[in-house]
A and B are shown apart, each in its own frame.
Chain A
């Protein structure tokens, strides 16, 4: 069926099967492979993107449910070759190693930061929805808190 939506500011019209997940739509149809796919049942948080400004699991959303929506992926954060302040904070704090979980965390943190500077406790609570198996969470928390206070 016909799907019309905006992805990272660009209007997109695609014919999709109802069973196609938003995560697979972004990666396989649009080539936006910055969105990572981990568990595919909503636990790991790697596939988190924003739909109409709200962070959501793209593996728990059918692409057709995003009809008419404005979707933002991690590719929208950096302007040209310049990292966003949040991404820059991640770099400064060594808040990533393998980077698999990073796009999801960035998109969730981006929503949190849009509502104002979060407390450390709020950041920790947010990260309960994101599994990172290499860096450890402390530098990630540091980076998000710093970006919030910038």
Chain B
């Protein structure tokens, strides 16, 4: 349980980080909070030759402008959680992100770039129709996440910020995990008529059919139940040791129904 040997650079700016990553070649990896990367290093699932630490590269900070909250990549999850600008949906999801001690180090940009299919923040970003900003371009969340642990990032490209639009109506986040802080069996983020799911799909996924159903109906228990049933029929999880595919589908439906009812009553 010890990482392989590697070199380390603590970048002092974005330019320095990009140059170090370019020099390091394909086995160089950026290090943000390390709460996913370091376990993978410890288990030797990743064997980088170089780590470029972004903590001091000046990529933090939270700003609100024109109804959008811009969260710098290395903003710690706990900083977002405590910020007055924290989007309501993210505020609901953040207590489920790991544990207090990992949120003290884990970053928002790191979570997004890592693209674990069972990570909460990417699902929220997708539900809100947010974007990912890199050193080269800006991409809608729907185009950024391309598969499990896989994103549209090109070699040497760095996430510099995420953009969180104001929720398009009532919002809510729900998940079910075997234990608090564990990876969820299923999770649901609702923003207006947009419903995104995670953990039961290979990437954060907005269920557009559910959105169409919601847009055409009247908010209420009946519509919530219908939307839940539709969501359950749309996901096709593989199942695992802890839950069968049928159970995961069922749970997803229940979470969608629960999130909608809560969003509508609290919104």
Contact = CB atoms under 8 A, between A and B. Distances in A.
A125 B95 contact: yes
Contacts of A111: 100
A56 B8 contact: no
B6 interface: yes
Interface string B79-123: 000000000000000010011111011000000000000000000
Given A21-B42, A42-B35, A128-B181, A56 B5 contact: no
A45 B39 CA distance: 13
B2 A21 contact: yes
Contacts of B3: 19, 21, 62
Contacts of B180: 125, 128
A37 to B, nearest CB: 9
Given A60-B34, A128-B181, A129-B181, A18 B8 contact: yes
A17 B5 contact: yes
A48 interface: yes
Interface string A26-63: 00000000000000111001001000001111011110
A119 interface: no
A14 interface: no
B104 A64 contact: no
Contacts of B39: 40-42, 60
B216 interface: no
A55 B2 contact: no
A59 B42 contact: yes
A19 B4 contact: yes
A65 interface: yes
Contacts of B35: 42, 57, 60
The SS class assigned to the A binding surface is: mixed
Interface in B25-66: 31, 34-35, 38-39, 41-43, 51, 53, 55
Contacts of B8: 1, 18, 62, 64
Given A129-B101, A129-B181, A60 B78 contact: no
A127 to B, nearest CB: 9
A129 B42 contact: no
Nearest to B55: A65
B230 interface: no
Given A40-B1, A128-B181, A45 B7 contact: no
A111 B100 CA distance: 10
B152 to A, nearest CB: 27
> Which interface residue of B7, B101, B102 has the most chain A CB atoms within 10 A?
B101
Contacts of A24: 2
Contacts of A126: 99-100
Contacts of A21: 2-3, 38, 42
Nearest to B35: A60
A61 B38 contact: yes
Contacts of B101: 45, 48, 55-57, 108, 129
Given A19-B5, A21-B42, A40-B1, 19 more contacts: A41-B39, A42-B98, A42-B102, A55-B100, A55-B104, A56-B104, A60-B102, A60-B105, A61-B38, A64-B8, A108-B100, A108-B101, A112-B100, A125-B100, A126-B99, A128-B99, A128-B179, A129-B101, A129-B181
20 contacts: A18-B5, A19-B3, A19-B5, A19-B6, A19-B41, A40-B42, A55-B101, A56-B104, A57-B35, A57-B105, A60-B39, A60-B105, A62-B3, A62-B38, A62-B51, A65-B53, A67-B10, A108-B101, A128-B180, A129-B99
Interface of A: 1, 17-19, 21, 24, 40-42, 45, 48, 54-57, 59-62, 64-65, 67, 108, 111-112, 125-126, 128-129
